[in-house]
C-alpha cells in the first residue's frame, strides 16, 4: 500500500507538480495553497502536524497516485476544508477560484450542525469531481491511522468502509488503494466498540 507523505511543503510538491501538470494549473495550486495557509493559519491536525501537510498529502494522492489532472478538482482538494474549518465563505472561494471550485468544496463540506453519517451517506449522490476530492482527502486521513487512539481508529475505519469505500468503486485506482488498506486494517473490525 503506497503512503503519500512525500510533499510536506510546497518546495517538495512543486517539482513533481511541474512534471505532471500544465504551468497554469501549478500556478493555481500555488495560489490555492497560499490562500489555504492564510485561512487555516496555525491550525494543526489531530496528530499535531501542521494542517497544510494534510492538504499537500491529499494533493499528492490525487496527482501521483490517482493521476488526477483536472485543475478545478485539484484546487478544490487543496481548499476542501476552508468552509468547514475557517471563516471563509463559498462566495470568497467563487470570487477567488471560480464557481466550479467553490461548488466542489461546498459539496464535500459537512453542513454546520449536520449529522456526519447523513453527510457521508449523501456523497453517493455527489458529482464525480466532488467524489474525487473526498476520496483524496480520505486517503490522506487514513493512510497513517495508527497515529490515532484505538477508539478513533475503529470509528474511522468503520466509517470509511461503510461510506467511503463504496464511492471508490467507480474509480479503479482508489478502489484498489482502499481495498489494500482494508486488508491491512481488517483487524480493527474485531476490536470492541
57 part of a folded domain: yes
d(CA 175, CA 188): 19
CA atoms within 13 A on the CB side of 89: 3
Domain residues for the domain of 176 are 10-190
4 part of a folded domain: no
d(CA 182, CA 177): 9
Q: Return the active site residues.
A: 84-85
- 5 φ, ψ (degrees, to nearest 5): -135, 20
159 part of a folded domain: yes
pTM of the model: 0.95
pLDDT digits (tens, 9 = 90+) for 142-151: 998 888 888 8
Please give the tally of structural domains in the chain. 1
2 part of a folded domain: no
Query: What is the pLDDT averaged over residues 171-191?
Result: 93
pLDDT digits (tens, 9 = 90+) for 60-109: 999 999 999 999 999 999 999 999 999 999 999 999 999 999 999 999 99
5 part of a folded domain: no
Give the distance from CA 132 to its chain's centroid.
Answer: 8
Q: How many CB atoms lie within 10 A of CB 75?
A: 28
The pLDDT of residue 46 is 79
Average pLDDT taken over every residue of the chain: 95
168 part of a folded domain: yes
The pLDDT of residue 168 is 97
1 part of a folded domain: no
Q: Identify the CATH number of the domain in which residue 128 sits.
A: 1.10.3210.10
The pLDDT of residue 193 is 64
153 part of a folded domain: yes
Residue with cell 495550486: 29
Amino acid at each position: 500500500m503506497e503512503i503519500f507523505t512525500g510533499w510536506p511543503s510546497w518546495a517538495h510538491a512543486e517539482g513533481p507538480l511541474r512534471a505532471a501538470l500544465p504551468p497554469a494549473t501549478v500556478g493555481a495550486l500555488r495560489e490555492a495553497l497560499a490562500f489555504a495557509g492564510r485561512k487555516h493559519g496555525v491550525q494543526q491536525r489531530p496528530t499535531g502536524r501542521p494542517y497544510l501537510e494534510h492538504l499537500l498529502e491529499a494533493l499528492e494522492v490525487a496527482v501521483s497516485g490517482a493521476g488526477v489532472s483536472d485543475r478545478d478538482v485539484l484546487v478544490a482538494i487543496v481548499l476542501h476544508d476552508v468552509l468547514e474549518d475557517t471563516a471563509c465563505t463559498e462566495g470568497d472561494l467563487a470570487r477567488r477560484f471560480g464557481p466550479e471550485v467553490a461548488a466542489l468544496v461546498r459539496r464535500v463540506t459537512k453542513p454546520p450542525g449536520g449529522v456526519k453519517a447523513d453527510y457521508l451517506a449523501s456523497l453517493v449522490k455527489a458529482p464525480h469531481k466532488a467524489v474525487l476530492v473526498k476520496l483524496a482527502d480520505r486517503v490522506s486521513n487514513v493512510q497513517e491511522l495508527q497515529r490515532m487512539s484505538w477508539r478513533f481508529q475503529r470509528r474511522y475505519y468503520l466509517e470509511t468502509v461503510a461510506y467511503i469505500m463504496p464511492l471508490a468503486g467507480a474509480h479503479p485506482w482508489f478502489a484498489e488503494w482502499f481495498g489494500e488498506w482494508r486488508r491491512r486494517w481488517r483487524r480493527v473490525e474485531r476490536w470492541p466498540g
